[in-house]
């Protein structure tokens, strides 16, 4: 399948005849009822409709269904509209009446809730169609990026290995006219030795994809944004084998790479006046006679030698070579995304990606964008006091600490060893998955932190270095 060409299929063209959806908050309910047909208002009152979040009632009319009313409660996020697409009657077309909400965010939420993973089997039903409103282009672009990320994460690992993920990254680059370079085999071993070491245990060869793109209005010295993504298509843990329960969701261990590709898509589709470099390490962490072993010592691209304290801490090994190469270009901003540690989930749970950042101004901008975009994140510290926990008696550093504390911080400190000090850098440790279905967030793969990062990038770079 083509991951990059799937379009949002829940939007009807402007002007299509449609039934109204009235979206109302509790404080606006009385006025809304006063403006409705008396019979419909009486029907809602008799049912005890309170305009609570996700409360949905179909309204009857002479021709059958005459419309619907949706309660918003106090929810100002796109997810307030995230349950509509799969709850409204599928065969009818709908339109949102103006109300106390942002129409673009409402459309985004509707589209996010309309997602289904239908690559392998058709769903029981499709989404109801919603007529496009003002701002539809921006909302649909953001939704299509999220759909692409979700499709990539949801694809089973036997169907999305390193070569397939690399192919999806390359296809995305070609779609937007980027320069595409793919490294494998001897070239991979020479230029990305840590990624080669992680992938050595698998029969499916590791790949690194590098995309380079420049906005149509960007000058040759426009700010360079560099993105790096962990693309471990399946993580067995290697010789430090995960228990069976720990492997059940490991097809999502490429969620960082998928998120980076989604963010790159948004940047390129918006044609921001920047230069963009994207690096994705596509690999599988398996067990075989060729796999790296505990206590092996491996030299990185940077030249630092790393003792392998745990083969299941492979994500930081994938990223370290990518970060080192990215820093050689002296980017204005460096971002990496990875499903890196269970410790981040213990600290923050599945819905809050952890943000680590060496630049307070950029961290504040990202967190502000996360609040505005309703794409939550939480900052954790790059606490230098734990840096010595990575010391090794036989190498420059270990890939893990022997202490059972602060696992997410220690992983971020490992990555920081490969980032040039003057490069503004943020590391996002995310879950990339919804354990259960919620409005706007179907169970399965999820594009976490992507909208927050994009919003911060737009705010910082949207008018920079144009001709």
Which of the residues 175, 242, 299, 379 is marked catalytic?
A: 242
CB 445 within 8 A of CB 149: yes
Active site annotation includes 279: no
Task: For residue 341, give the 3-state DSSP assignment.
Answer: coil
- Residue 306 tokens read as 């790393």
At residue 234 the predicted structure's pLDDT band, cuts being 50, 70 and 90, is: very high
Q: How many helices and strands in the chain, by DSSP H and E?
A: 14, 19
For residue 124, the model assigns a pLDDT of 85
For residue 61, the model assigns a pLDDT of 86
Per-residue pLDDT, averaged over 174-193, amounts to 98
CATH topology for 11-129 is 3.40.220
Residue 466 has pLDDT above 50, yes or no: no
Per-residue pLDDT, averaged over 78-97, amounts to 96
Strands 207-214 and 56-61: unpaired
Task: Please tell me the CATH code under which domain 142-461 is placed.
Answer: 3.40.630.10
Which of the residues 129, 204, 316, 345 is marked catalytic?
A: 316
Tokens 């059958």 — which residue? 64
pLDDT tens-digit profile of 193-222?
999 999 999 999 999 999 999 999 999 999
Residue 321 has pLDDT above 90, yes or no: yes
Per-residue pLDDT, averaged over 146-161, amounts to 98
pLDDT tens-digit profile of 265-274?
999 999 999 9
Residue 467 has pLDDT above 50, yes or no: no
What percent of the chain is modeled with pLDDT above 90? 95
- Residue 83 tokens read as 């349950």
Query: What is the rounded CA–CA span in Å between residue 436 and residue 73?
Result: 22
Active site annotation includes 45: no
For residue 462, the model assigns a pLDDT of 84
- Residue 186 tokens read as 């001897």
Per-residue pLDDT, averaged over 140-154, amounts to 97
Worst-scoring range by mean pLDDT, 56-70, 184-198, 288-302, 350-364? Answer: 56-70
Query: What is the rounded CA–CA span in Å between residue 279 and residue 335?
Result: 10
Query: What is the rounded CA–CA span in Å between residue 338 and residue 257?
Result: 7
Residue 79 has pLDDT above 80, yes or no: yes
Per-residue pLDDT, averaged over 125-151, amounts to 93
Per-residue pLDDT, averaged over 232-237, amounts to 98
For residue 242, the model assigns a pLDDT of 97
Residue 464 has pLDDT above 60, yes or no: no
Per-residue pLDDT, averaged over 128-149, amounts to 92
What are the boundaries of each domain within the chain? 11-129, 142-461
CB 337 within 8 A of CB 229: yes
Task: For residue 446, give the 3-state DSSP assignment.
Answer: coil
């Amino acid at each position: 399948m083509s991951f990059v060409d799937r379009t949002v299929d829940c939007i009807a063209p402007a002007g299509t005849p449609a039934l109204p959806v009235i979206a109302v908050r509790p404080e606006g309910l009385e006025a809304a009822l006063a403006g409705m047909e008396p019979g419909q208002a009486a029907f809602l009152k008799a049912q005890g409709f309170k305009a609570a979040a996700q409360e949905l009632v179909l309204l009857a009319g002479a021709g059958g269904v005459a419309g619907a009313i949706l309660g918003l409660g106090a929810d100002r996020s796109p997810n307030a509209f995230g349950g509509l697409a799969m709850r409204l009657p599928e065969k009818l077309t709908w339109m949102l009446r103006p109300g106390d909400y942002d129409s673009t965010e409402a459309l985004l939420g509707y589209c996010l809730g309309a997602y289904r993973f239908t690559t392998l089997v058709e769903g029981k039903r499709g989404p109801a169609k919603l007529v496009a409103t003002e701002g539809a282009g921006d909302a649909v672009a953001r939704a299509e990026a999220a759909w692409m990320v979700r499709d990539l994460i949801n694809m089973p690992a036997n169907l999305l290995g390193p070569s397939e993920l690399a192919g999806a990254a390359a296809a995305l680059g070609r779609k937007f006219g980027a320069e595409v370079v793919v490294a494998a085999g001897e070239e991979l071993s020479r230029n990305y030795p840590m990624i080669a070491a992680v992938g050595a245990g698998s029969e499916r060869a590791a790949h690194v994809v590098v995309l380079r793109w420049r906005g149509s209005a960007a000058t040759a010295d426009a700010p360079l944004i560099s993105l790096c993504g962990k693309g471990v298509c399946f993580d067995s843990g290697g010789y430090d084998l995960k228990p069976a329960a720990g492997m059940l969701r490991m097809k999502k261990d490429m969620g960082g790479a998928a998120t980076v590709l989604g963010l790159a898509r948004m940047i390129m589709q918006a044609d921001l006046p920047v230069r963009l470099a994207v690096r994705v390490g596509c690999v599988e962490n398996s067990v075989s006679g060729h796999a790296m072993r505990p206590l092996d010592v491996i030299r990185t691209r940077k030249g630092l030698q790393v003792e392998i304290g745990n083969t299941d801490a492979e994500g930081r090994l994938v990223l370290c070579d990518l970060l080192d190469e990215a820093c050689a270009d002296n980017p204005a901003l460096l971002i990496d995304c990875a499903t890196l540690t269970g410790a981040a989930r213990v600290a923050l749970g599945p819905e809050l990606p952890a943000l680590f950042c060496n630049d307070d101004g950029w961290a504040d901008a990202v967190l502000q964008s996360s609040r505005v975009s309703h794409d939550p994140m939480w900052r954790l510290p790059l606490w230098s006091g734990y840096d010595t926990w990575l010391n090794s008696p036989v190498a420059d550093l270990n890939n893990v600490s022997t202490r059972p504390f602060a696992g997410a911080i220690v992983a971020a400190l490992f990555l920081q060893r490969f980032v040039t000090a003057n490069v503004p850098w943020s590391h996002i440790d995310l879950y990339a998955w919804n354990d259960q279905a919620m409005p706007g967030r179907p169970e399965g793969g999820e594009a976490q932190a992507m909208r927050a990062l994009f919003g911060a990038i737009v705010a910082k770079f949207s008018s920079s270095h144009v001709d």
